[in-house]
Amino acid sequence: MAVTVKLPTILRKHAGGEAKVGADGATLRDVLVDLEGKYPGITKNVISEDGGLHRFINVYVNDEDVRYLGSLETEVSEGDTVSILPAVAGGQR
Amino acid sequence: MSELDGVFYKEIVEQGLREFPNECCGVIAAEKGVPVKVFPMKNADASPVTYRLDGREQLKVFDEMDEQGWELWAIYHSHTHSEAYPSETDRRLAFYPEARYMLLSLTDREDPVFRSFLIRDGEVEEEELVIT
């Protein structure tokens, strides 16, 4: 399945400055593996050390938060848009 | 040096006071480097010591900025019991190096302090902020 992946600014340096790139896969995990193959280092901070989705990264498939779908195993369809959006978070502690 | 319209500043202070003692948060959009809109947003943590934008609201606002051709100019939040300086958590979670991180301290609610920082690779650099 060919999907469009929208990248946050912080990841664009891995993809030659592009804001949107194409990738292939049947699940979100496949799409990220495909991206990593094309743009090494791009998923380093998206997937955590335990192989899951990083706690401070939100990923949406067509505006649906994948945490409420199947996380990295969420299935994607031809033409879907995958948005990677790091959390905006912090605080005095 | 950055300039922020006093109307926008007032909006942020009012939000901070309204949500006190919890931290408030939001973003400021700009068009060609000039701030055009403040988006006061929900603190999904609803906490006096942390903040996190609600993911869906963040996606909606970021999409709106894209559609309007606006850029993410600043991310702001309040510290209700400490100074207006990025905490260790703020530095660690600064995933938007293109934006300023603005902090509103409400330690003295009669006399708020608002400061602006660039946080890149964990390094904090203050920039002069002029409220016009």
pLDDT tens, residue by residue, A7-61:
999 999 999 999 999 999 999 999 999 999 999 999 999 999 899 999 999 999 9
Predicted pLDDT at B16: 98
Closest approach of chain B CAs to the CA of A59, in angstroms? 9
- The answer to whether the CB of B115 falls within 8 A of the CB of B84 is yes
Rounded CA separation B18/A56 (Å) = 27
Rounded CA separation A76/A31 (Å) = 9
Domains, chain B, in order of start with CATH, read 2-131 (3.40.140.10)
Rounded CA separation A22/A58 (Å) = 19
Rounded CA separation A8/B94 (Å) = 13
Residue A41 sits in a domain whose CATH number is: 3.10.20.30
Predicted pLDDT at A76: 97
- Pairwise CB contact (< 8 Å): A63 & B59: yes
**For A91, which residue in chain B has the nearest alpha carbon?**
B50
Is residue A25 one of the residues assigned to a domain? Answer: yes
- The answer to whether the CB of B22 falls within 8 A of the CB of B46 is yes
Is residue A43 one of the residues assigned to a domain? Answer: yes
Q: How many CB atoms lie within 10 A of CB A51?
A: 8
**For B62, which residue in chain A has the nearest alpha carbon?**
A85
Residue A39 phi/psi, 5-degree rounding, is -130, 80
Residues of B in contact with A68 (CB under 8 A): none
Is residue A62 one of the residues assigned to a domain? Answer: yes
* Domains of chain A: total: 1
- Pairwise CB contact (< 8 Å): A90 & B90: yes
Average of pLDDT values for B73-100?
95
DSSP state of A15: G
